[in-house]
Amino acid sequence: MSHIESENNGAVRRITINRPEKKNALTAEMYEDLSDALEKAESAPEVRVMLLHGAGEAFTAGNDLVDFLQKPWKGQDLPPAVRFIRAVVDAKKPIVAAVHGATVGIGTTILLHCDLVYAAENTKFLMPFINLGIVPEAGSTVLLPLLVGHQRAAELLMLGVPFTAQRAYELGLVNAVVAQGELLTTAASAAQKLAAKPPVALRACKELLKRTYKAEVDRAIQEEVTVISGRLDSPESREALNAFAEKREPDFTKFW
């Protein structure tokens, strides 16, 4: 059974991550299905805008770490998570995101590539890459410092501190913070407004907005993938992931 659902509302393609029992944690199969959904929407002439959100109590808890351990990136030409990142990065049509609850890892970094982002008041953002012995992805090592400055990016990425929807708004990561009950209505309304715009002009505007830093983002994504693929075999990462599986605190004191 696919945990990714798609439906049209006029010219808006709504793509839903639907694995609520696991807080929408993403498996390799789900990444492939998300990529398929985005690529199909991108090529469908009746679709002008995509709306991405999660069912249940969370947007996404990030990678399903058990699945992540079983399907390492090393040796794969295009890991499923990277295919999903590229599908979002390369989309010519606008993408609107509606996030709530747990918005972890790639659930946060992918928002840097969305065109409009709305967050419910209960959204909890977290980018715990360093805690897992790896590095951030989705070009976030370039885009986040551009958005918030080096020190704030270091706080979010290196300390891996959680932050609220209001903090995300203050940092410029989201367009607005709304009540949980108004989240989808607000995001869908914005998506419908975009869908009513001249489509060719809208896509041209999106391309121009991203053109200045596109090459640097593409470079960063590739370098991040290379580092992550290598680090997943590192003693630090194995300690972090094993500690998670064993429900204990990791011990990094033996590494230097």
Domains annotated for the chain, with CATH where assigned, are 4-181+190-195 (3.90.226.10)
Average pLDDT over the chain, rounded to whole?
A: 95
Whether 111 has a pLDDT exceeding 70, the answer reads yes
3-class DSSP string for 34-82 = HHHHHHHHHHCCCCCEEEEEECCCCCECCECHHHHHHCCCCCCCCCHHH
Worst-scoring range by mean pLDDT, 68-77, 117-126, 199-208? 68-77
- Quote the CA–CA distance of 101 and 134 in Å, as a whole number: 24
Query: 3-state class of 123 per DSSP?
Result: coil
Residue 178 identity: V
Q: Which pLDDT does position 40 carry in this prediction?
A: 98
Q: What is the pLDDT of residues 20-54, one digit of tens each?
A: 999 999 999 999 999 999 999 999 999 999 999 99
For the cut 90, the answer to whether the pLDDT of residue 67 exceeds it is no
- Report, as an integer, the average pLDDT of 236-242: 89
Write out pLDDT tens, residues 223-233.
999 999 889 88
Does pTM surpass 0.85? yes
**Segment 89-102 mean pLDDT:** 98
Q: What does the DSSP 8-state code read for residue 160?
A: -
> Could you give phi then psi for residue 139, rounded to 5 degrees?
75, 10
Please name the helix (run of DSSP H) or strand (run of DSSP E) that holds residue 7, with its range, or none.
Answer: strand 4-9
